[in-house]
Amino acid sequence: MSEKILVPELGESITEATVLKWLINKGENINADEPVVELETDKVNLEVPSPIDGTLSEINFKDGDTVKVGTVLGTISDSKGEAVKIDKKPSQIDQSNNVIKFEQEKKQEPNIFEEKNVAKDKKEEPLVLTEEPLVLTNEIVDKEEKSSNKTLSPAVRKIVEENNINLNSVQGSGKDGRILKGDLISMMGASPKPSERKIKYGQEERIKMTKLRQTIAKRLKHAQENAAMLTTFNEVDMTNVILMRKENQEDFQNRFGIKLGFMSFFVKACVLGLKSFPSINAEIDGEEIIYKNYYNISFAVGTEKGLVVPVLRNTDEMSFAEIEKNIKLISEKARNGKLTIEDLQGGTFTISNGGVYGSMLSTPILNSPQSGVLGMHNIVERPIVLNGEIKIRPVMYLALSYDHRIIDGKDSVSFLKLVKENLEDPRRLFLYI
């Protein structure tokens, strides 16, 4: 009896996946519900478990192959394979008693006593010195180096010793072939070492794009081609947010077991802005506009495989602590490749924090079918004018990219201005929650 390993349902609008890697080899045993193969989709990676206890008897697709939902990946046989036993090599079989005798390989060890006996049999011969005395190789090298170093200047000798240069590979340009300082400098500058990556992979590398990277490329291009995308900018003085974090950080961490970050302030500020300007929380569906009365904030997370945008659901009903905890939990799932389809669906607005990588300013691209995305950037001390005086303040540039088809310039600019005001006076966040 055997069971087939099928490609499971992968979620909404996902019809195919890529075989990332088989977790066991053909012929190996596996228990029921243990992962047997890992698949990669355009959104998440998932492991397909074994349906029964048994042995992987058949593999129909190799790593890198594209498979569709319902495809038979392989077969699990319910007859468990026997473990391979490595026995010692039999040297003799006694057929009469059906007994196998084993002999350990005997190492040939020198017999000290035999050597002594042989030595006794040999005639003692007097030790006669040859014409040339026995000289160690190192002594010869040392003598050669000493003799060659006599012609080197102190500066040249220092370069040779510090860089461990073989003088035999250097052609001197001085009198009688004497090695000069310029000869060593020219030699070291003329032959730089190639990069480690070039040594390891060659002149060029050609690697197939992952499903995730292909999807990112398609979605970004689709957003550019199908939306009337426009970006508006503003700046925010982060002084009061930084001060509030500093004053309440210890108490917040002791009370909730997590640090108070910037993202919770931005999420709350954006939610208040979305409530005031519903078109930024809407999307186009054919000839209709869908206005959403819930606030699921997507946030961009950079992973080794590419950018993913998981979702925080119902952020208007979350406290600061709940926002920070969920951000940490989902970010860890993203970096470990444990996100599910549900973690990536249903977002209404996106926040992208390029500031963690040092970005000063950017124009974020829409996360289709959403109509707005806020770009956060690096906090840098800049001079600003306050009450007629120049002050140095921590300033962040904000960028709002939006779909001009349903969002007017007035609403986009007003939204960003409201976010700015709520952050510059974070007490406002608690007045309208």
Whether 404 sits among the annotated catalytic residues: the reply is: yes
Backbone angles phi, psi at 221, to 5 degrees: -65, -40
d(CA 343, CA 299): 11
Whether 53 sits among the annotated catalytic residues: the reply is: no
Q: Are 245 and 264 in contact (CB under 8 A)?
A: no
| 395 membership: H or E segment, kind and range | strand 389-403
Per the structure block, which two tokens stand in for 260? 């108070």
Q: Which of 377, 404, 411, 425 is catalytic?
A: 404
Please state, as a whole number, how many other Cβ atoms lie within 10 Å of the Cβ of residue 151. 16
Helix, strand, coil percentages (3-state) for the chain, rounded to 5, are 35, 25, 40
Cβ neighbours for 160, distance < 8 A, ≥ 6 positions apart: 152, 167, 184
d(CA 328, CA 323): 9
Cβ neighbours for 76, distance < 8 A, ≥ 6 positions apart: 2, 3, 4, 5, 30, 36, 50, 51, 52, 54, 55, 56, 57
Strands (E), 24-171: 29-30, 35-40, 45-49, 54-59, 66-68, 72-77, 90-94, 99-102
Closest CA to 64 of 40, 36, 33, 93: 40
Q: Which of 222, 408, 411, 425 is catalytic?
A: 408
Please state, as a whole number, how many other Cβ atoms lie within 10 Å of the Cβ of residue 271. 25
d(CA 141, CA 137): 6
Taking the alpha carbons of 114, 116, 119, 121 in that order, is the dihedral positive or negative? negative
d(CA 234, CA 96): 96
Please state, as a whole number, how many other Cβ atoms lie within 10 Å of the Cβ of residue 317. 11
**Mapping DSSP to helix (H, G, I), strand (E, B) and coil, where does residue 242 land?**
helix
Cα 349-355-360 angle, rounded to 5 deg: 110
Cβ neighbours for 237, distance < 8 A, ≥ 6 positions apart: 384, 393, 394, 395, 424
Catalytic sites, residue numbers: 404, 408
